[in-house]
Amino acid sequence: MSDHQKQIAGEAAALRVEAGMVVGLGTGSTAGWFVKALAARSLTGLRCVPTSEKTADLARELGLPLTTLEDVSRIDLTVDGADEVGPGLALIKGGGAALLREKLVWEASDRCIVIADAAKVVPVLGAFPLPIEVVAFGHKATANRIMDVLTDHDITMPARLRQADRGVVRTDGGNVIYDAKCVAIHDPVRLADDLKLITGVVEHGLFLDLADEAIIGRDDGVEVLV
Ligand code: 5RP
């Protein structure tokens, strides 16, 4: 069961946290298991930086002490989920629309652990649609420029504006998300660079060279990838 896999990955990651640490709290169901397991440890002197309003609400409810990225200069350890874990611990993130805050927190962290169920481990990134966060103003024009870049990477499916029951999804920062069905991303570094050059693209869900370790939940226990 993938929920069991997510739970044991989250619980294993919570054991890596020590009293007094500044901890980055990821977003999503797997990160939620980590937050719950961390709260259950009742460590002293923790300060936690949530990567979304949703995670902040959960952490508050569980009594974890919160701080912000403005109030701490560095984060000791961040633990977060992923949508895909590829070779070299290259990741796709952003399925929960929190990629911008997540990347800001990851980049401010001394160590980052990604936690995931076994189905997230892939030989090539790209089956999960790549989330791209875009400024709402003029987002359709920005989407056209994103398509030009994707075409240059042999990705021809149109990137789709993320919608939910209540209409267009807005991130915690008020931006919109385009999901690009890439199928296979052969050169994630070049794609990441090319997307960042587009005015209006705030961030993309490629997390490259950021994860130090992955804790993967499997039916028979956790596997650690470095
Ligand atoms: C949120 C994320 C999540 O970590 C990612 O979508 C995985 O979610 P889940 O643990 O629910 O499968 O990147 O922006």
pLDDT in tens, 159-193: 999 999 989 999 999 999 999 999 999 999 999 99
Assigned token pair, 215: 């804790």
* Per-residue model confidence as pLDDT tens digits over 23-75: 999 999 999 999 999 999 999 999 999 999 999 999 999 999 999 999 998 99
Return the ∠ at Cα 135 (arms to 197 and 126), rounded to 5°: 60
pLDDT averaged over the chain? 97
ipTM here: 0.98
152 contact partners, CB below 8 Å, separation of at least 6: 194
**Annotated catalytic residue: which of 102, 107, 133, 203?**
102
Q: What is the pTM of this model?
A: 0.97
Please list every protein residue whose CB sits less than 6 Å from any atom of ligand 1.
Answer: 26-31, 80-83, 93-99, 102
Residue 11 appears among annotated catalytic residues = no
Assigned token pair, 61: 């409810």
CA–centroid distance, 181 to ligand 1, in Å, is: 17
The CA distance from 176 to 162, in Å, is: 7
Tokens 């991130």, residue? Answer: 171
Across the range 89-117, mean pLDDT stands at: 98
CA–centroid distance, 150 to ligand 1, in Å, is: 23
Q: Domains in the chain, ordered, with CATH?
A: 1-122+208-225 (3.40.50.1360), 130-203 (3.30.70.260)
From the list 197, 204, 185, the residue with the least C-alpha distance to 134 is 204
* 3-class DSSP state of 72: coil
CA of 35: how far to CAs of 161, 194, 206, 213, in Å? 30, 34, 23, 18
96 carries a ligand binding annotation: yes
Report the atom number in ligand 1 closest to the C-alpha of 80.
Answer: 4
